[in-house]
Amino acid sequence: MRTTNIADLRNHLTRYLKEVRAGEQIVVRDRKLPFAKIVPLAHDEDAEDAALVAAGQMRKAEYALPAAFWRMRRAPIERHVAARAVSRDRKDD
């Protein structure tokens, strides 16, 4: 873990951000007192999901589907019939 003061961080921001991308953590000090930490974000689906939710492009599920759901057989329906139903549903919005 590296430490730096505000002025050095401002003057060499690109270098420090490259280090953070490489996994390094940077502690930022103001007059020798640490007050912030720059850490790399974990790249996982939760972060991507959170970004989509924040952008209004996705809603989180209210509850998990039961395991039995995935074992259920699909209803026999033609692709064009399903596509038409989805298209009609979207026009209603």
* 60 found inside a domain: no
- The predicted pLDDT at position 93 comes to 59
Between the CA atoms of 56, 57, 60 and 61, what dihedral angle is there, to the nearest 10 degrees?
A: 130
Q: Residue 10 is part of a domain; what is its CATH number?
A: 3.40.1620
* 77 found inside a domain: no
- The predicted pLDDT at position 26 comes to 96
* 27 found inside a domain: yes
pLDDT band at 45 (very low <50, low <70, confident <90, very high): low
Give me the domain span that covers residue 22: 2-38
CA distance 57 to 45: 15
- The total number of structural domains in the chain stands at 1
* 42-57: average pLDDT: 80
Strand partners, 3: 27
pLDDT band at 20 (very low <50, low <70, confident <90, very high): very high
The residue with tokens 């912030």 is: 36
Closest CA to 21 of 41, 48, 5, 50: 41
pLDDT at 47 over 80: no
